[in-house]
Amino acid sequence: MLNTVTAKGIREGILFHLSDQNWETNLQALVRLVKDRQKFWRGAKVVLDTANVEVTSDQLLSLKDELSHYDLNLWAVLSENSLTQQAAQFLGLATRISRLEKDTMADFEPIYHQGEPAIFFNKTLRSGFRIEFDGNVIVYGDVNPGAEIIASGSVLVWGKLRGLVHAGALGNEAVVVCALDLQPTQLRIAEQIAITPKRHGKPQPETAFIRDGKVIAEIWNYKG
Amino acid sequence: MPGKVVTVTSGKGGVGKTTATANIAAAMALKNQKVVCIDADIGLRNLDVVLGLENRIVYDLVDVIEGRCRLRQAMIRDKRLPELYLIPAAQTRDKSAVSPSDMVRLCNELKPEFDWVLIDSPAGIERGFRNAIAAADIIVVVTNPEVSAVRDADRIIGLIEAEEKGPAQLIINRIKPDMVKKGDMLSPDDVLELLAVELLGLIPEDETVITSTNRGVPVVIDGKSRAGRAFRNISQRLLGERVPFASIEESGGLFNQIGRIFRKGGG
């Protein structure tokens, strides 16, 4: 058992593990977590792992209501407690989810560098692949059209960036998106959305950032 | 040596999976290989029509899996090519009638007897696709030089990698050399640059494919067809022969450039 509520990104959405404290404490911790990352998680499906804590259907219902304020949808409850399982089934919630797919980010351990988390992908991210990460994302490979990277920090791609990128997804404007060939379908930094103009000529490494409230892309010049 | 299971898939529909399966199978049978094709597109069967075996179906894949007949009884022998067999899909059922483990069991039963087991996958990324790739030793992805087909191929290749079934090999079908030359169509270079997988073959657009499909005679049997020649090259490559990509095309210089982009992909 854990002593705090924890969240993990899985293919189906977000998986919350409850702590062994009482329901009220858990609920408060969970809501605090959700409030902090409201924008990051918006629209996600939620799976709640209650381990063997007994939770009533009223409590689950109030949690479902609470989460819906943040545009989150509680759809499954995992429990070892049969009463909790019954309560979840009574509300029409799933009590089982399929095995975690191999390409969820749960497989990837974040690397911490001076307190700032970063995640490293040593492969090409293909169409349909989605990363959501509270930190920086580094890709050694291409990001193909149809792939999505949502990061609270910066995004660095050593390759061609042609998918969708949202850097600073929690509102941080002091982040960059850079790539050897910066041609994303859509580039978002914090609240700003930009569409890549058609490029003429040879690709060059570029860095995108926010200046005066606008997304700007500059050719990266290692001499300067 | 036990046979190999090759699954032909694409993501997007209508790119030529069934045509490719039928023709690779027929080309291999012409090379005296023992080949069995399985149509995994349950509910929307086509492979029997393309091979011209539709009127001989008695039992199908689902009958075998549900134990209503023996495996031998569902296998239809192609009379033109004695070593080519087909296990047709059921037309009145859907994908959920078969599970991935059923396919693995079936292929394990077929492998000792055949050199090649070819599986024609349905379009999409759902159950039918999972069934089709479950037993595969080699996965062949078919795409067209169109943005939407390439996007779906990319997704499929990603899923294959996630299942650790790869690396996938690529067939680019329906290439129009003159349109590529004018810059109106994605070139094989463009497609390979994005997908970064090993190239297995390039098929030119060819009207004889349509007539042969309608007649139920695989185009590889026609010695003059350009697409037929390209499919024969593909089967030779699968058999481990080195066939240069330049030899496909006579009328244009396009395919002469392909040799240099033949590369191993993946990461």
Inform me whether the pLDDT recorded for A78 exceeds 90: no
Across the interface, whether the CB atoms of B152 and A127 are under 8 A apart is answered yes
Residue ranges and CATH numbers for the domains of chain A are 6-90 (3.30.750), 108-219 (2.160.20.70)
Chain B residues whose beta carbon lies within 8 Å of the beta carbon of residue A146? 151, 154-155
- Is ipTM > 0.90 here? no
| Mean pLDDT in residue range B107-132 | 95
CA distance B205 to B186: 14
Please check whether residue B25 lies inside any domain of the structure. yes
From A1's Cα to the closest Cα of chain B, the distance in A is: 31
Whether the ω angle into residue A117 lies within 30 degrees of 0, i.e. cis, is no
* B124-172 residue pLDDT tens: 999 999 999 999 999 999 999 999 999 999 999 999 998 888 789 999 9
Work out the pLDDT band at B256, boundaries 50, 70, 90.
very low
* 3-class secondary structure, A195: coil
User: What is the rounded average pLDDT for all residues in chain A?
Assistant: 84
pLDDT at A13 over 70: yes
**Minimal CA separation from A141 to chain B, in Å:** 7
B163 is a domain residue: yes
Average model confidence (pLDDT) across chain B: 90
pLDDT for residue A110 is more than 80: no
Residue A2 pLDDT > 70: no
Residue keyed to tokens 């291999």: B28
Average pLDDT over residues B204-219: 93
For residue B81, give its domain range: 4-261
Range with the lowest mean pLDDT among B33-37, B97-101, B243-247? B243-247
Question: How many structural domains is chain B composed of?
Answer: 1
In this prediction, residues A50-65 reach a mean pLDDT of: 84
Cβ within 8 Å, pair B162-A127 = no
Please report residues of A whose CB lies closer than 8 A to that of B159. Answer: 128
Residue A175 confidence (pLDDT) above 80: yes
**Pick from B155, B161, B164: CB nearest A127:** B155
Instruction: Judge whether B203 and B171 are in contact, CB under 8 Å.
Output: yes
- B258: pLDDT strictly greater than 60: no
Closest CA to B135 of B4, B2, B242, B1: B4
Does residue B267 lie within any of the structural domains? no
Interface check B165 vs A, CB under 8 A: no
Whether residue A152 has pLDDT greater than 80:
yes
Classified as helix, coil or strand, A76 is strand
Classify residue B266: in a domain, yes or no. Answer: no
Instruction: Provide the 10 A C-beta neighbour count for residue B178.
Output: 12
Q: What is the CATH number of the domain that holds B67?
A: 3.40.50.300
**Distance between CA atoms of B173 and A53, rounded to whole angstroms?**
57
Alpha-carbon gap: B266 to the closest alpha carbon of chain A (Å) = 8
Contacts of A142 in chain B (CB under 8 A): 194, 196
- Region A57-68: mean pLDDT is 86
Q: Kindly tell me if the per-residue pLDDT of A133 is higher than 60.
A: yes
8 Å CB contact of B151 and A146 = yes
Please report whether residue B121 resides in a domain: yes
Please report the pLDDT score of residue B44 as a whole number: 92
Percent of all residues in chain A with a pLDDT value above 90, rounded to a whole number:
35
Residue A102, min C-alpha distance to chain B (Å): 6
Q: What share of chain A is helix, strand, coil (3-state, %, to 5)?
A: 20, 40, 45
- Closest to B84 measured CA to CA, from B233, B229, B221, B226: B221
- Interface residues from chain A to B (CB-CB < 8 Å): 101-103, 122-129, 141-142, 144-146
List C-alpha distances in Å: B173 to B95, B150, B186, B198, B223: 26, 11, 12, 15, 19
* Phi/psi of residue A212, nearest 5 degrees: 50, 40
In this prediction, residue A64 has a pLDDT band, given cuts at 50, 70 and 90, of confident
